[in-house]
Structure 1
Amino acid sequence: MDRTRKQAIRLGAGVAAGLGAAAIAWAGIAANAEEPADAKGDFETMIIGGGDVTDGQYPWLVGLGSPGEGTPYERQFCGGSVIAEDVVLTAAHCVEESVAEDLVVFSGAIDLESEDVVETAVADLHVAEDYNAPVAMSNDWALLKLAEPLDVEPIALATEPEEYDLLETAGWGDTGEGFPTTAQWVEVPFVSDEDCEAAYPDEVDAQTMLCAGDLENGGVDSCQGDSGGPIMTPAGEEQVLVGIVSWGYGCAEAGNPGVYGEVADFNDAIEEVLAGWEG
Structure 2
Amino acid sequence: MSGVVVAVGLLGCGGSEPGQDPFEPVGHTEQQIVGGIEARPNSIPWIVSLKQDGSHFCGGSLVRVSNKEESDIVLTAAHCVYDGLSNATASAGAHDLNRPTSTQETVGVTRAVYHPQYNPDTTLNDIAVLKLDKPIKFDTAVTGACGQSSGMRPNLVPRLAGGNTRVPVCLPASGERVAENTMATVAGWGLTREGGYDTSSILLQVGVPVLGHQEVANSYRSQGIVIDENAMFGAGYQQGGKDACQGDSGGPLVVQGAQGYVLQGIVSFGVGCARAGLPGIYTRVSHYIPWIHTQIRSLSAVR
Distance 2:17 2:99 in 1: 34
2:200 aligns with: 180
Contact 2:190 2:246 in 1 (8 A): yes
Q: 1:105 is matched with which residue?
A: 90
Task: Specify the alignment match of 1:158 in structure 2.
Answer: 172
Report the CA distance between 1:54 and its aligned residue: 1.1
Which residue, out of 125, 130, 146, partners 2:117?
A: 130
Whose helix fraction is larger, Structure 1's or Structure 2's?
A: 1
8 Å contact kept, 2:50–2:58: yes
Pair 36,94 (structure 1): closer, same or farther in 2 beyond 3 Å:
farther
Q: CA deviation at 1:157?
A: 1.0
Q: Which amino acid aligns with 1:118?
A: E
1:193-204 aligned at under 5 Å gives the runs: 193-201=213-221, 202-204=225-227
Equivalent pair of 1:123/1:147 in contact (CA under 8 Å):
yes
TM-score by length of 2: 0.75
Root-mean-square deviation (CA, aligned residues, Å) is 2.6
User: Conserved in 1, the CA contact under 8 Å of 2:219 and 2:278?
Assistant: yes
Residue of structure 2 aligned with 1:218, choices 240, 260, 268: 240
What pairs up with 1:7-22 in 2 under 5 angstroms?
Answer: 7=8, 10-11=9-10, 13-15=12-14
Whether the 8 Å contact between 2:73 and 2:300 is mirrored in structure 1 is no
Q: TM-score, normalised by structure 1?
A: 0.81
What is aligned with 2:20? Answer: 37
Tell me the equivalent position of 1:208. 231
Give unmatched runs, 5+ long, in structure 1: 16-23, 25-32
Residue 95 in structure 1 maps to residue 81 in structure 2: yes
The runs of 4+ residues in structure 1 deviating greater than 6 Å are: none
Match of 2:210, SS?
A: strand
Q: How many residues align?
A: 247
Letter aligned with residue 186 of structure 1: V
CA contact (8 A) 1:242 1:262 kept: yes
The Cα of 1:125 is off from its aligned counterpart by: 1.6
Task: Name the residue aligned to 2:40.
Answer: 54
Give, in angstroms, the shift of residue 14 of structure 1: 4.8
Structure 2: which 5+ residue stretches go unaligned? 24-30, 65-70, 138-165
Partner of 1:21: none
Instruction: Give the distance between the partners of 1:64 and 1:115, measured in 2 at CA.
Output: 14
